[in-house]
Structure 1
Amino acid sequence: MIEALERVVDDLAVVNSKLLLLIGAPNSGKSDLLRQLAGRRKLHILNIGAALGRELLTIPSPRRHLQAADLLKGLADEFSREGLLLMDNLELLFDQELKLSPLDLLRRHSQARRVVAAWPGTLTDNRLSYATTGHPEYQDYSCDGVVPFRVN
């Protein structure tokens, strides 16, 4: 599967959509596949939960939503190498207090570089979702501008 992923990542350089989402059930191997890709490309993975969480702790709670996107941009610039950014543990981006649109953020980052991220939700009928309907963090998006890569 890693060979197929590497081919798709290389192809991202010549297509409009430079955002590739690894999609699979929990424990399907998304993070492991991302680690394999990182090892082959000699890159580090941006662990959003750990890195962004650490940065946000230095900011007073009422102001975090104002700075979260800028902090993420700084981290993305730091972790990006050779026009490629690998991201995992995105769940923090869905925190309601941060008032972010996670997929829109990923799309913005993919305008400057290829982005490969482990999506913590599902893909059904060309719709990406996170959490379940009625859950406070529920999000639903069109798959436009995204290259989905299913991990089984």
Structure 2
Amino acid sequence: MIEKLEKLVDDITSLNSKLVLLIGPPLSGKTALLAQLSERRDAPVLNVGAALGRQLLAVPSTRRHLQAANLMRDLTDESARQGLLLLDNIELLFDRTLQLNPLDLLKRHAHARRVIAAWPGELRERRLSYATTGHPEHQDYGIDGLVPFEIH
């Protein structure tokens, strides 16, 4: 599977949006696959929840929504290597208090570099979702502007 992902990472270089989402159920190996890619490409995996969470702790809660996108940009700029950004544990981006559009944020990052991210939701009928309908953090998106990489 890592060979297939590496080929895809090379193939997306010429696309306008260079976003690949690793999609699979919990414990399907998304994190392990990112770790393999990290080792092969000498690019660190950014644990968004841990890194962005640490940064946000220093910001008053009433201002976090104003600074989250900029803090994320700074973190990704530090983590990207050779035009490649690997992201895991992105659930914090869905926190309603941060007022972010997680998929849009990932797509914006993918204009400047290749972004490979583990998606914490599912893909059904060409629709991405995060959390169940009715959950406060529920999101539903089309898959335009990204390349889904399904792990079974």
Q: Which TM-score bucket, shorter chain as reference?
A: over 0.9
Where in structure 1 do 4 or more consecutive aligned residues deviate above 4 Å? none
C-alpha displacement of 1:15: 2.0
Q: CA RMSD in A?
A: 0.5
SS at match of 2:63: helix
Task: Tell me which residue corresponds to 2:118.
Answer: 118
CA distance in 2, matches of 1:16, 1:68: 25
What is the rounded CA distance, in whole Å, between the counterparts of 2:73 and 2:131 in structure 1? 25
CA drift of 1:85 comes to 0.2
Letter of the aligned partner of 2:30 in structure 1? K
Report the TM-score, using the length of structure 2 for normalisation. 0.99
Query: Aligned residue pairs: how many?
Result: 152
Q: Structure 2 matches for 1:71-90, cutoff 5 A?
A: 71-90=71-90
Asked whether 1:140 is paired with 2:140, we answer yes
Structure 1 unaligned residues grouped into runs of 5+: none
Which residue in the other structure is 1:131 paired with?
Answer: 131
2:15 corresponds in structure 1 to 15
Per-residue deviation, 1:43: 1.1
| Other-structure match for 1:29 | 29
1:71-115, CA deviations, whole angstroms, 9 ceiling, x for partnerless residues? 000001000011000000000000011010000000000011000
TM-score normalised per structure 1 = 0.99
Which structure 2 segments of 5+ residues have no match?
none
Find the counterpart in structure 2 of residue 64 from structure 1: 64
Shift of 1:123: 0.5
Name the SS of the counterpart of 1:87 in structure 2: strand
Do 2:130 and 2:137's aligned partners in 1 also have CA atoms closer than 8 Å? yes
Work out whether residues 42 and 81 of structure 2, in 8 Å CA contact, stay in contact via their aligned partners in 1: no
Distance 1:150 1:105 in 2: 21
Offset at residue 16 of structure 1 (A): 2.5
